[in-house]
Amino acid sequence: MFGGTAGYISLFRFVTVLENHGGLHIMAAFRFFRDKDMSDDLNAFREETQSWLKDNFPPSLTKFSMGAEGESDEGQRADLDTWRQRLADKGWGAPTWPAQYGGAGLSHPQAKIISQEMGKISAFNPIPLMAGMGVTMVGPTVLEFGTDDQKERHLPGIASGKVRWCLGLSEPNAGSDLASLACKAEDKGDYFQLNGQKTWTSGANISQWCGAVVRTDPAAKKRNGISFVMLPMDQEGVETRPIQLISGSSPFCETFLNDARAAKTDLLGEMNDGWSVVKRLLQHERQSQTQAGSSSSSSSKPSLLDIAKQYVGAEDDGTLADADLRVRLVNHLMDTQAHGLTVKRITAEARGKVEVSAAASILKNSATRVGQTKAELTLEIMGSQGVGWEGENYTSEEKDTVRDWLWGKAFSIYGGSYEVQNNIISKNILGLPETTQKG
C-alpha cells in the first residue's frame, strides 16, 4: 500500500489524519484511503472506457436496435459482427467473468461504468442477446457448479457471443410447478438418453446448446430425482417447432427430445440434485430481469413525457393537457425511479458484488409492473395510432408500440410468474408458512 514515492505520500497523509483526529479508529482511516483509491481507479477506468469506445464502436450502429432474441438487420450485420468481435477480444461481452473463460475479470462497479458509458453514446453490448440464455443464466451457473473442464469448454463461446444457449425447463404439464417435469434421462454408460418434451423454449430453433432439467430417478419424490444436463441442439434426436405469438413474433418453441444424447461429462452439478442447480439458475434469470432499462436502449429515444406532449398536447405552461393522465404518468415515473433506486441500494449494500438472492423476486415483480404500465400508458397516449398493425398511416414507432404492448404481457409469466414470485417473497423474505404442495 505504501510502496514508492506515492506510497510515502499516502503514509504521510495517513499519519496526519491519525494525528488530527486522535480518536479516529485505524480501520476507519484505512477505509478512507481504500475508498479514495477505489474512486480514483474507477475514474481512471471511466476515462479509459470512454477512449476505447470512441475508437472501437462503429458509428453506423449508433441507432441500431436488436430484437429481444438477438435478431439483427441484414444490412448492418458486418459492422455488428466486427463490434461483437472487438468486445469479445476485450472481454467485455461478460466483463466480470474470469479472463481465462473469455471475460475481463472486472469488478461489478467497473462493469457498470462500461454500461453507463455505452448508454451515453447509444452504444450497446450485443453479446448477451447473441448468446441467448448464456451470459445471464447458463454462464453464471456453470461458473458456480461446473467442473474446470465444463468451464473451459463452454464459457468462452458464450462470452464471445459465438455460441447461443437455450433452456429446456417448462413442459406441457410442468410450468410453474416445474418439479412435476416428466422428461426422462436414462443412463447409457457414458451418456444420457433423453426422451420427452419441453415448451416455451426461448430461441431453441437458433441455439447450438441447451441446458435442460430431466428426471434421472423416476422413483424419487419430485425434486429429488432431477438432474441438470447440457446437450448439443444439432443432433438427430432434437426437434424444435416455433410457437407463433399474438405479437407476430416466434421467440418461443416446442422442443421434442427423441433418444437425444447428453454426455455424462455435461452433467452440471451432482446427479439427482438438479433442483439445486435450476433454482440458482432461475435466481440469475430474475436478477437479469430487474432492470427497468438497459444500456442497449438508445438514449436518443423520446421519453414517455415527450410522447405524451406530442400526442395529447400541452398547456401554455408546458404541462400536459390531460390532468388525469398527468397524475398517472407521474405515478409511473415515481415507480420507475423507486425501482431504479432500489436496484442501486441493493447493489450498494452488497458493496458492488451483485448477490443473487430472494430479493431478485421483489425486483422482478417491480420491473414487471414498471414495464407493463409503461406499455399501457404509451398505447393509451397514442390512441388509435398506437394500435396500428400495418399500413402507411402508422409510423414504425407506432407499429412497434402495439407489438411491444402485446409482448410485454409475457413479463408477468416467464421467468417465474408474478404469483410464484409472491410465494417466494412470502416464504423466503417475510417468513410466512409454506402453503404450496411440497415435492
pLDDT over 50 at 298, yes or no: no
What residues have CB less than 8 Å from 101, skipping those under 6 apart? 143, 151, 152, 155, 156, 159
The partner residues of 194 in beta bridges, in order of sequence, read 185, 260
* pLDDT recorded at residue 8: 43
Confidence of residue 279 (pLDDT cuts 50, 70, 90): confident
* pLDDT recorded at residue 98: 97
pLDDT over 70 at 293, yes or no: no
pLDDT over 90 at 148, yes or no: yes
Most confident of 232-236, 403-407, 428-432: 232-236
Confidence of residue 431 (pLDDT cuts 50, 70, 90): confident
Q: What average pLDDT does range 29-47 have in this prediction?
A: 72
Least confident of 275-284, 329-338, 348-357: 348-357
* pLDDT recorded at residue 68: 54
* pLDDT recorded at residue 290: 59
Q: Tell me the CA end-to-end span of the chain in Å, nearest whole number.
A: 53
Q: What average pLDDT does range 167-185 have in this prediction?
A: 90
The partner residues of 260 in beta bridges, in order of sequence, read 194
What residues have CB less than 8 Å from 166, skipping those under 6 apart? 132, 133, 201, 202, 203, 204, 207, 209, 210, 211, 233, 253, 255
Backbone angles phi, psi at 106, to 5 degrees: -85, 160
pLDDT over 70 at 95, yes or no: yes
* pLDDT recorded at residue 297: 40
* Percent of the residues in the chain that have a pLDDT greater than 90, as a whole number: 53
The pLDDT mean for the chain works out to 84
Least confident of 46-60, 216-230, 419-433: 419-433
Q: What average pLDDT does range 65-82 have in this prediction?
A: 72
**pLDDT tens digits for 98-140?**
999 999 999 989 999 999 999 999 899 999 999 999 999 999 9
pLDDT over 60 at 26, yes or no: no
Ordered domains of the chain (ranges, CATH): 4-127 (1.10.540), 164-277 (2.40.110.10), 302-429 (1.20.140.10)
pLDDT over 70 at 31, yes or no: no
pLDDT over 60 at 354, yes or no: no
**Could you count the other beta carbons within 10 Å of the beta carbon of residue 310?**
12
d(CA 192, CA 235): 14
**pLDDT tens digits for 112-123?**
999 999 999 989
Q: What average pLDDT does range 149-171 have in this prediction?
A: 97
**Could you count the other beta carbons within 10 Å of the beta carbon of residue 327?**
11
pTM metric for this prediction: 0.74
Most confident of 31-45, 49-63, 241-255, 343-357: 49-63
